[in-house]
């Protein structure tokens, strides 16, 4: 992840690494799911959104889909879905010492479709 001297959204390298590794496992997730998985002590989901935006700025993750739910007030709430790019998948494979072909895909098509099954699995 080198080469960027200033991260536009001010995320830390530790948080970027944790989010990349999590996406390498779950493939597609919302920022809130990623917060619960790897940064549960973080009170504000914006921290994870900033991580995802920084990773997107260097081409390691993307957000090609959205999911929604109805809040307790009856209003729809939309959440971006984050997934790895091929470069992100390769980065995670390197970090884990595994061949890229063993890592599965990037879940881009699932994210485009709203990924209801993948999100349910991650919630579980």
pLDDT, tens only, 22-79: 999 999 999 999 999 999 998 899 999 999 999 999 999 999 888 877 888 999 888 8
pLDDT, tens only, 19-38: 999 999 999 999 999 999 99
pTM: 0.85
pLDDT, tens only, 97-112: 999 999 988 888 777 7
- Which positions ≥6 away from 61 have C-beta within 8 Å? 19, 20, 23, 52, 55, 82, 83, 84, 85, 88
- Which positions ≥6 away from 64 have C-beta within 8 Å? 81, 83, 108, 111, 112
The full set of domains in the chain, from first to last, is 13-123 (1.10.10.10)
| Residue matched to tokens 């809130």 | 32
Model pLDDT, residue 112:
76
Q: Is 81 strand, coil or helix?
A: strand
| Residue matched to tokens 């390197």 | 94
């Amino acid at each position: 992840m080198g080469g960027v001297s200033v991260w536009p959204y001010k995320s830390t390298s530790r948080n970027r690494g944790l989010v990349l590794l999590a996406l390498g496992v779950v493939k597609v997730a919302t920022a809130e799911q990623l917060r619960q998985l790897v940064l549960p002590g973080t009170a504000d989901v914006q921290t994870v959104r900033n991580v995802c935006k920084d990773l997107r700025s260097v081409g390691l993750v993307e957000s090609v889909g959205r999911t929604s739910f109805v809040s307790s007030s009856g209003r729809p709430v939309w959440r971006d879905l984050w997934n790895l790019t091929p470069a992100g998948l390769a980065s995670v494979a390197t970090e884990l010492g595994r061949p890229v072909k063993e890592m599965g895909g990037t879940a881009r098509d699932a994210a485009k479709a709203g990924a209801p099954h993948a999100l349910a699995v991650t919630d579980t």
